[in-house]
Structure 1
């Protein structure tokens, strides 16, 4: 390699590193979005607690992912189910796993526990957060990431093992509808089931009692911060932007980045719009908080196939995801399932739809571009409704079932053990008083006072007696 070629290669690597780092920073901003969304969605007496749990998810997750998670996800070896070398970070930087790549994957990992914490908000002991956050980030999530995103993972669309791609296609989950969102949503589902609903959430006849969040402004702020971060979450998953296609050197990954951002925006916006009118028909008024959740549901769903579908298909994705969320929320109320942030329905349900959507609408040309650098003449399974057969959809269903089973076994067991040890749920008195004053030494807002919360305490007691 001469001097000019070496200089060109260094420029390419520099641009790729900067792009990946910038995407990492955008994804990390989503932690602030989660914090604001959660804070606004709970009652004021629990605002400090939920913000603390979001901080804990980040700091505990950072340590656990460094010590164990990154190795389990991307450690060297050929095991299709788990990375086999601990402390894999010690071996970087190198061509495969440099520090920029670690930071990007870390930003994804710490987002998972934040999803789960929303499902069990307002009634969980703080120590339980520490335990599940460490395990989820350091072990449960990384195993799934290895299956789908490691080149040796058994579900990977880039699988390099001797048995070849699953159904000749591999499972396409480009940015994590299932790897991130469904893992967090299913974990939250089991946590909420095992803990049970909040005190006063359902009356003596099983009818739901409204417990709306205390600050719509924070919910909207959090939603827009998450939208902003999703432009790192989805387009950033190309990892390296300056990767030219061998058969078309003037095209490359950079041609897919803009399209991925557009499909992301379209799916979220369509879901938000459908939720706006759908909830208007169902409840009789316009609801900003429902629209925010609908918008996020569209983002969750498109995250799987954002890079391999056309923009028109993103409209379909968003439309269906809105009704998936509305339907699951209605079902949750009938089953007396209490999730303060609708996290299990939103991230789990819409994440599941996103995987199926990809198996139905992925376009062959775009699949080849993303996973085979646009190789001319290459054929591989693509969306069923696009004429690509059942291979890709079958792989998507297998991924869905595998993740559902893995997360259910590990996290349900963890929550059951914590519950049996009486380390999971706070007492009724503490819940009625609020976690901020009972566990964190005071309220999140200076003008909050005891009479206000004492009045709420008496109201809930009266409802419980009746």
Structure 2
């Protein structure tokens, strides 16, 4: 039986929208690379840029070979398909466009983890954990939440607590997974040399380029319009009993809640840090902005714009508070990745359980079906079903990533292929591992003086 003209047009528009969204999400890799490069010292810029490229290329292969099958197979609610089964694309349910979009998400996860362990990790270790994280650990979580057969999925036929957990674009699936992996990597490696003095006081190891950080932040902001609104993989879905509503109405709302949460978090972090440290800092507002985006990613499609402002305001203080705690505990994360993606991602999941609106939940997960009732935000009178599912998601992700990535990092540590030697770390990973510094001035000094001292020391 042939496909009607209307069906063909609908499929084409949905495919184009999904592909465009995938391209936007891929732009976030550029943003990650710029933020990572700007946040590390110049002597490690080449290394961190290379690891960002490796995250993408290794993740592409592992997600194609194994990851997609684990995420969107239908063998059981806990893991998509059996081990070593290749991802068969296309199939009766998923086409190439859907695969590409999910691939862009998978490679974003490893970028988060790379930031946590920057400036002291051997390059070979990146190859190992990138492959394992994007090919197995992340896809299993994606299956739980985003596959219709997943046990935590809000589209499952057997809804957990009558609700399922709502993580629309991945505050938990993407950000919390990457953050917990990075947390364990950073703890097992220990802080960078010189980050804390002999009495445990933090010493500043500032990144070398605020320009790159700001550029990366705006690129991530741009890409987030594919990350959140793009998660409507089919926009031409008409709601029953209406002539003017469909997923296309939710797309615009999702974009608005995204920018409001991020902007509120950015300005709150700017003023909050001004009160704490006494000056304005571009790095603070950039991290605060990203924290707001991370937090709203879970509930962006099911909350009102006014609620997104609350989300962003709280996420800013979550980030500020966790950074203070991290310093107290001598925890070193050059990009604040665990605090930002983990802390704000956790808050975002809880926020959804508090503020999700029933009408929007039904629009997104039941195509606006009339007569359907679902649990929604506790503070809006929706009971505890959704909030309970959100808490279970948080605990499950933390446990799963801990028991998988923790042993990987520990094994790399025991095999002495995780952290670089101290003398190479002090000299800079670029010259010790990659043949030269990223910047011509540093390379000129190396040829002229034959040592690894920063150029300002040589001229003093």
TM over 0.5: yes
State whether structure 2 residue 136 is matched by structure 1 residue 142: no
Among 372, 381, 388, the residue aligned to 2:382: 388
1:329 corresponding residue in structure 2? 323
Q: Say if 1:141 and 1:183, in contact at 8 Å, map to a contact too.
A: yes
State whether structure 2 residue 337 is matched by structure 1 residue 369: no
Q: For 1:380-419, list aligned pairs within 5 A.
A: 380-419=374-413
State whether structure 2 residue 203 is matched by structure 1 residue 209: yes
1:90 shift after superposition:
2.4
1:63 shift after superposition:
0.1
1:128 shift after superposition:
0.2
Among 124, 128, 131, the residue aligned to 2:128: 131
1:464 corresponding residue in structure 2? none
Q: Say if 1:66 and 1:87, in contact at 8 Å, map to a contact too.
A: no
1:237 corresponding residue in structure 2? 231
2:74 corresponding residue in structure 1? 76
1:89 shift after superposition:
3.5
**1:353-395, CA deviations, whole angstroms, 9 ceiling, x for partnerless residues?**
0000000000000000000011112111000001001110000
Among 255, 273, 277, the residue aligned to 2:267: 273
1:101 corresponding residue in structure 2? 98
State whether structure 2 residue 35 is matched by structure 1 residue 41: no
State whether structure 2 residue 114 is matched by structure 1 residue 117: yes
* CA-atom RMSD in angstroms: 1.5
1:88 shift after superposition:
5.5
**1:14-73, CA deviations, whole angstroms, 9 ceiling, x for partnerless residues?**
000000000000000000000000000000000000000000000000000000000000
**1:63-118, CA deviations, whole angstroms, 9 ceiling, x for partnerless residues?**
000000000000132x1100115546425143x21000000000000000000000
Cα distance in 1 between the residues matched to 2:64 and 2:72: 12
Q: Say if 2:427 and 2:453, in contact at 8 Å, map to a contact too.
A: no
What's the TM-score once normalised by structure 1's chain length?
0.95
1:246 shift after superposition:
1.9
1:88–1:386 CA distance, 2 compared to 1 (3 A): farther
1:246 corresponding residue in structure 2? 240
Cα distance in 2 between the residues matched to 1:141 and 1:24: 18
2:292 corresponding residue in structure 1? 298
1:300–1:423 CA distance, 2 compared to 1 (3 A): same
1:378 corresponding residue in structure 2? 372
1:436–1:351 CA distance, 2 compared to 1 (3 A): same
1:463 corresponding residue in structure 2? none
Q: For 1:285-364, list aligned pairs within 5 A.
A: 285-364=279-358
**1:227-281, CA deviations, whole angstroms, 9 ceiling, x for partnerless residues?**
0000000000010110111222431100000000000000000000000000000
Cα distance in 2 between the residues matched to 1:394 and 1:289: 35
2:430 corresponding residue in structure 1? 436
Cα distance in 1 between the residues matched to 2:186 and 2:79: 28
* Runs of 4+ deviating beyond 6 Å: none
Question: How many aligned positions are there?
Answer: 452
2:60 corresponding residue in structure 1? 62
Among 259, 266, 276, the residue aligned to 1:282: 276
2:217 corresponding residue in structure 1? 223
Cα distance in 2 between the residues matched to 1:165 and 1:356: 18
Cα distance in 1 between the residues matched to 2:105 and 2:118: 21
Q: Say if 2:89 and 2:96, in contact at 8 Å, map to a contact too.
A: no
Q: Say if 2:171 and 2:296, in contact at 8 Å, map to a contact too.
A: yes
1:337–1:16 CA distance, 2 compared to 1 (3 A): same
Among 7, 10, 13, the residue aligned to 1:12: 10
**1:190-216, CA deviations, whole angstroms, 9 ceiling, x for partnerless residues?**
000000000000001100000010000
